[in-house]
Amino acid sequence: MDARWDALVTGASLATLDGEGYGAITDGAVAWKDGVLAYVGRRADLPASPATLATHAIEASGWITPGLVDCHTHAVFAGDRAAEFEMRLEGARYQDIARAGGGILSTVRAVRNADEAALYAESKPRVDALRGDGVTTLEIKSGYGLDYENERKMLRVARRFRDSSLDVRTTYLAAHALPPEFVGRADDYIDAAIQWLPRLHAEGLVDAVDAFCEGIGFSPAQTRRLFDCARSLGLPVKLHADQLSDLGGAALASEFNALSADHVEHTSEAGVRAMASAGTVAVLLPGAFHVLRETQLPPLDLFRAHGVPMAIATDCNPGTSPLLSLRQAMQLACTHFKFTPEDALRGATVHGARALGLHDRGMLRVGMRADLALWDIKHPAELCYWLGGTLLRRTFVAGLPSIAAPRH
């Protein structure tokens, strides 16, 4: 058996995120074997020359970070909602657009009218853009089908993006909006969504369960019923919580030991305390905050005071966050939420992984999965400093190289 490492990269600086600050190591070295990190440290501390230590020895410059984790997206959809963007700029409220048949339901119509091949083809440029900007783990939700066959179609398409260059996690979000055939019968629709879940889970299509707990979505009681079903199947839950109002969504999610509560602009201190007690991650979505021109900030100081980890995600979706760059989400978190660049990088790596229940990635540490991003930068703060542009040189996913996809 060959005891050498599979690959060893030397020369680049490392932002390990292991410990305080960036966990920076200049003139670093990182190696892996069978997709797992086997060495993280200074090149000067290697026990021998790189060529004798690894099958593939790679000399690099710039910085290496953990691969980025986008822990909240709706990247699989059809059509767009550019007209609604224009309407909001002219003064229409998101709630008014939704109640008039726009919003989520307009995307539902487009998804239902697309077959699986068309849905994949429309979604692929978005996934490629996220991957091409450093994402190595991507969560994709259903929620634009709102019936069994179309929710299944969305989850099947999302699963197709899981390959050697990207790890995809799929989340069942049938409780996203009330479809037209169930108008006035929200409880009946939740009954149907509960019936679909075991079938989709049995096909291996569901990693977690989510819901939109909001006045224009589903009530806490309805959400609880769906989460009871998820719990009976051993599936973890996440929740769109307290985005537009405080219905106690974050506290409800915490009752179920949710992986995350997402948006959380209106979460109360009681909700923050519940999240801290349950170990639930706050997933902040600055893209939606920016596009909707919100003014209600999430309770950032309370999250910090109570030790609630804060992840950053794109919320890539056609209506409220048409965002195709997790780096841009990181920059928006610095601008709107007063994150430091280090906060933002941790939010898109360490805490993003935790928000998906993944404890094998998100930092550079021996024993962790070899998900890496190599950047053409002189300091990690540049990941939040530059607005756009191509900074990524390549990624490695479980040790396998992936050339950055072209931007779309």
List pLDDT tens digits, range 3-40: 799 999 999 999 999 999 999 999 999 999 999 999 99
Q: Are residues 72 and 61 part of one domain?
A: no
pLDDT digits (tens, 9 = 90+) for 372-407: 999 999 999 999 999 989 999 999 999 999 865 444
Could you tell me what percent of the chain has a pLDDT over 90?
A: 89
Q: Are residues 311 and 375 part of one domain?
A: no
Q: Are residues 331 and 272 part of one domain?
A: yes
Q: Are residues 344 and 234 part of one domain?
A: yes
Binding residues for Fe(3+): 72, 74, 240, 315
Model pTM score: 0.95
Q: Are residues 385 and 344 part of one domain?
A: no
Tokens read off for 356: 């998906």
Residue 109 lies in a domain: yes
Q: Are residues 304 and 289 part of one domain?
A: yes
State the CATH number of the domain containing residue 116: 3.20.20.140
Residue 122 lies in a domain: yes
Binding residues for N-formimidoyl-L-glutamate: 144, 317, 319
Whether the predicted pLDDT of 2 surpasses 70: no
Least confident window among 56-65, 102-111, 212-221: 102-111
Residue 108 lies in a domain: yes
Binding residues: 72, 74, 81, 144, 176, 240, 243, 315, 317, 319-320
Residue 106 lies in a domain: yes
Q: In the Cβ-directed half-sphere of 107, how many Cα atoms lie within 13 Å?
A: 31
HEC string of 159-172 equals: HHCCECCEEEEEEE
Residue 408 lies in a domain: no
Q: What pLDDT does residue 1 have?
A: 42
Binding residues for Zn(2+): 72, 74, 240, 315
Q: In the Cβ-directed half-sphere of 87, how many Cα atoms lie within 13 Å?
A: 16
Q: What pLDDT does residue 152 have?
A: 98
Q: Are residues 348 and 280 part of one domain?
A: yes
Whether the predicted pLDDT of 84 surpasses 90: no
Residue 315 lies in a domain: yes
Burial (CB count within 10 angstroms: exposed 0-12, middle 13-18, buried 19+), residue 366: middle
Are 41 and 47 in contact by the 8 Å Cβ rule? The answer is no
Distance CA 387, CA 384 (A): 7
Residue 407 lies in a domain: no
Q: Are residues 79 and 24 part of one domain?
A: no
Q: Are residues 252 and 121 part of one domain?
A: yes
Question: Would you place residue 408 in the very low, low, confident or very high pLDDT band (cuts 50, 70, 90)?
Answer: very low
Angle between helices 220-232 and 186-202 (to 10 degrees): 20
Instruction: Tell me how crowded residue 24 is: count the other CB atoms within 10 A of its CB.
Output: 15
Could you tell me what percent of the chain has a pLDDT over 70?
A: 98
Q: Are residues 230 and 81 part of one domain?
A: yes
Q: Are residues 322 and 292 part of one domain?
A: yes
- Number of domains comprising the chain: 2
Q: What pLDDT does residue 93 have?
A: 84
Question: Would you place residue 256 in the very low, low, confident or very high pLDDT band (cuts 50, 70, 90)?
Answer: very high
279 vs 51, which has greater pLDDT? Answer: 279
Q: Are residues 389 and 261 part of one domain?
A: no
Binding residues for 4-imidazolone-5-propanoate: 81, 144, 176, 243, 320
pLDDT digits (tens, 9 = 90+) for 168-218: 999 999 999 999 999 999 999 999 999 999 999 999 999 999 999 999 999
Spatial strand order of the sheet with 36-42 comes to 36-42, 28-33, 5-10, 54-59
State the CATH number of the domain containing residue 396: 2.30.40.10
Q: Token match 């699989």: residue?
A: 76
pLDDT (mean) for 235-239: 98
Domain that holds residue 195: 68-355
